[in-house]
Chain A
Amino acid sequence: MKTGTRNGLLLLGCLLAALVALGPIVWAFSTSLKPTNRIFQVPPELIPSVSTLDHYARLISEGVHRAFLNSGLYAFLAVAVALVLGTVAGYSLARYPIPGKQLVLVLFVGAMAVPGFAVLLPTQLLFVNMGLYNTYVALPLLYAGHILPFAVWVTRSHFNTIPRELEQAAQIDGYSRFEAVWKVVLPGAKPALLAAATFGFLHSWNDYVTATTMVDTPGLRTLPVALIFFQGFHGRDWGALMAGVIIATIPPVVMFLLFRKYLIGGFADGSVKG
């Protein structure tokens, strides 16, 4: 009896929590499908009796899809650079004697802890002076720098758990060291690599403040920046704005749902070992 009420309460709490977490997103989706004259309908209607894709079409006619592609391109480049450099560095930190290794590790952990925002203003002036401001390289470069410490950390943690004998056995079988790592060690590092890739994608795709301060031309804008500009011009066009919210939310949420296991594992791992 007592455990019955307890479980009932737990279930109720869970449903409420899920409703609070997803309710606003579902509501935004519903709004994005309603014809403009029904958006402010009283009482509000969750499932639209009349639905339309006009708002999504409008975003395309305003050129927002260009920003969508930019966001994807920047995130892809940043993740690719961070994964390659991060894996190599993570492997090296796990296997090689490196002078000043402790200091290097502290640097990576410290860089992970300091949020990029605190150094964004000097970065902007630096980029202006170096001619990197408002270029296609600016954002992928910065995002790669933000993601790298985490990539180094998860890959190093992973390589630390792999016995050296595995590579040595492969080398005795006639593989070069590089082949041994590529064919024997790296496939096992998939969870660590996916954790870093997912984290990196979410960081890059979801950023607004770096993007809005580092590029200026409409052609270079990312999706969040384009949506804020759109809001500036059409602040009351809630249908199109919510369509924008939905298209900006689908890629990171899908990525998160696909790889959540690795991402959550990576965070739990990093925090326990940190």
Chain B
Amino acid sequence: MATEITSDVVTSALPASAEENEVRRNAFQRLLRDPQAVITGSIILVFIVLGLLANVIPAHGPNEVVLSATNAPPGTEGYPLGADATGRDILSRLLHSINTAMVAGIIGAGIALIIGMTLGLIGGYFDRFRTPVEWGATIIQTFPGLLLLIVLMPLTGGDYRWTMAIFGVLLTPGIYRIVRNQTVGVSRELYVDAARVSGVTDFRILGRHILSVVRGPVIVATTFLFGSAIGTQAGLAFLGVGSKEIPSFGSMISDGFRNLYIAPSQYIWPAVALGVLNGAFVLFGNALRDTFEGARPKAEKIEATAVVEGFAADDVADSGQLVQVRDLGIAYRSPGGHLNEVVRGVDLEIRMGETLGLVGESGSGKTQTAFGVLGVLPAEAIVTRGSVRLEGRELLGMSQADLNRLRGSSIAYIPQEPMANLDPVYTVGRQLVEGIMASTQVSKAAAKERALELLGRVGIPDPARTFGAYPHEISGGMAQRVLIAGAIAPKPKLLIADEPTTALDVTVQADILDLLRDLQAEMGMGIILVTHNFGVVADICDRLAVMQQGEIVESGTTVEVFANPQHSYTKMLLNSILDEETIRTDPPMAAAGAREGAR
């Protein structure tokens, strides 16, 4: 029962021991292939080895004072890097400083790791301890860390090891938060529940399932903390906290800095050593993170959809339709640079006042097609071929400014998740006014009046109240009405609705469809309705197009296709409708009445 889970790929925890080892080995191999990891890792190793040889390489001890060697220049016999103002061998002090730095790192990062891990596992796994532990972490974070290290000098006696131990405690919240968040995530997984139900003790679950998941991010964080501890120790030694007997980068920099006018090179050795060591730890941590946690979302410029190099829209005869999509191809680039088409040669036509249902399973390319027509595909997408025309005007390759003008007047969009599509920090009214003012050149007062009128039109009972409400203060059905109001504000000719009812309650769904139908009758616009629900299609669509794996496999009038589906995929989708009742062919008013009667 209690199977091992993969450790290093947090997002895809596969319950198989063999695969765990596989993944772990892969992570290690990837690390070995990453030049940044290899170079910085080697630098750290070289430093460690040099530190271990601190008593072997130099001819003098780190605190051995030879008055005749005072401020000896580099290259002096027995003093390869020279000697400092009190006649101590700089090379010897430098190598011993490496050991001080490493011990500081081990103590600081080690203590943060042990305490942070323990608290994180406890706070993340046992609900009852979460609040007190969280409080503790917040308190520690509030300590002005470095000031405290200095204020507590009477307690530590300036011993850098004690100072680093306290510093480790101050670093604890960093590790704690990572471990807690990961633990909370994992402990809600089904396999952990299963283990718990089948009587595996909490202790074993923590050790076996959860520890292995948090390991990756914790190793990464520890690397950064190690660098941070080294830097802080150097800083404190620079200030003079700590024994003068202990050689350290910080005290060496301080000595050299004071001697700047006499021997300007003395501070350079420890400064470079500290900079390189610190940098190696940070870059090594970065490389580890890339390996363990995978690539993060990249920054991309948001603009009109990209087209392939040398793209020219297909030159097709204008059919006089409202929208004419010919041979549309949309692709995404694979990591290897290869283009994978997700929409492959789609043809669509919509007349004014007509509703076209674009049907298919998730992943069939229907939303991509809709976004392609709207010109709001993700930045990674690229149009490979075809033509999209609105009243004869080619949209593909159109400039961002022209597209904006068109969006504010002719094309509109209703999204799937109403809540996610309203900006949480502005009131509903402000967002509507912003859209109206962007599309029509009216005054703010006129835009507000229009917004209130629209809110009333889409069936919101108290427009003024909703106008002043924040998105989190209204229901999902209300939010969808608000979004419809925003979409129809410029009286568009084409409305693209992407699963407009999927996220809503069943009773609200029918109301929203009725509203769309009424608005269409009033404004005469064409609608592309993206959906996976044949019930919705039967309810509102004049024609439909069925998509599978990026291609349209069947299209025709709704009545035709429902009566006589040709393609096996269409038949399969039609058969998967569970409830015959959801296929309504009667007019909406009667349907609404039937619903009332059913209650």
Same complex for A and B? Answer no
Which residues of A does B touch, CB under 8 Å? none
Which residues of B does A touch, CB under 8 Å? none
